[in-house]
Amino acid sequence: MSGRHRKHAHLSLKITGGLVAGAALASTFAMSAHADTPAQPALAAKAAALPQMPVPETGSMTTAGKPAGTVVKPGAKAAAPAAQKAAEVTAAQMIAKAKSQLGQKEDGKGETKFAHWYSKTSRAAETIARDGGDRKGYLKASWCDMFVSWTASEVGAQSIVGQDAWTVAHAKWFKANGKWGTTPKAGAIVFFDWGGSKSLDAIEHVGIVTGTSNGKINTIEGNTGNRVQLKTRSAGQIVGYGYPDYKAS
């Protein structure tokens, strides 16, 4: 993010890969410059100490009007137009759209088209209500999950991939809906902790699995080296995977 992650007065604490409530912690520590660079050792412990957020419901991923922890199982909204469209999306389509963005990078202000898109969505209003801040705060925030959300929206798969700017909440949404595991699959949403823990609360980064080779995981990720890139990752850096209900190819 143009040299280093910035602290924003309008955001609650921003961790690598997203936003998190807790403005009091925002001045406590600074984050790593690039999403593919391990964060400071104290990060995992601090992130784990944060309170859990309500689990969003399937589809819009909103908690509006729902008690904390309320979960709608995948497929419960299959009759909705968005869900019908998502049922026709394949993993290959998701990957192809993500690859079409290779080389997209931050501008001189540390902003991207993905963050600009997310800041204008109705989902942004929901995550602001959950995490604090305002729409402008997303423009210079870590954008790896906003890239995943943008890609899903472009192919009509937002109801099965989910939309978020905070990687921890996004991972917990998959797990709460029974779509979480530790086996890499093409099109899966992969969540990382550079410290090597398997704690969802320590997640720092997110990407899309394109395949595997020689025991490594091949991915496409936003906000790595301040741009969209293909990467090869060690399984030891991976907390787990979210599995969208793609159409069988």
More confident residue, 249 or 246: 246
Q: What is the pLDDT of residue 128?
A: 97
CA angle, residues 191, 194, 198, in degrees to nearest 5: 60
Contacts of 89 (CB under 8 A, 6+ apart): 155, 156, 157, 160, 246, 247
For 23-31, what is the mean pLDDT? 31
DSSP 134-203: -GGGGGGS--HHHHHHHHHHHHT-HHHH---S-HHHHHHHHHHTT-EESS--TT-EEEE-TT----GGG-
Does residue 50 have a pLDDT over 80? no
Helix, strand or coil, per DSSP, at residue 237: helix
Q: Which amino acid is at 72?
A: V
Percentage of the chain beyond pLDDT 90 is 64
| Banded model confidence at residue 249, pLDDT cuts 50, 70, 90 | confident
Distance CA 37, CA 218 (A): 17
**pLDDT tens-digit map of 64-100:** 222 333 333 333 333 345 665 677 999 999 999 999 9
Q: Which of 71, 52, 92, 86 is nearest to 199 (CA)?
A: 52
Q: Which of 193, 226, 237, 243 is nearest to 45 (CA)?
A: 193
Q: What is the pLDDT of residue 84?
A: 59
Q: Across the chain, what does the average pLDDT equal?
A: 76
Q: Where are the alpha helices (DSSP H) in the chain?
A: 42-48, 81-86, 91-99, 113-119, 122-131, 144-155, 158-161, 167-176
Query: What H or E segment, with its residue span, contains residue 221?
Result: strand 216-224
Q: What is the pLDDT of residue 83?
A: 65
Residue 141 Rama label (left phi>0; alpha psi -120 to 50; beta): beta
Q: Which amino acid is at 102?
A: L
* CATH number, domain 14-242, options 3.30.428.10, 2.40.50.140, 3.30.420.40, 3.90.1720.10: 3.90.1720.10
More confident residue, 36 or 117: 117
Q: Which amino acid is at 36?
A: D
**pLDDT tens-digit map of 138-185:** 999 999 999 999 999 999 999 999 999 999 999 999 999 999 999 999
Tell how strand 189-192 and strand 205-213 pair up: antiparallel
Q: What is the pLDDT of residue 49?
A: 38
Of 21-25, 92-96, 108-112, 115-119, the poorest mean pLDDT is in 21-25
For 101-128, what is the mean pLDDT? 97
More confident residue, 2 or 212: 212
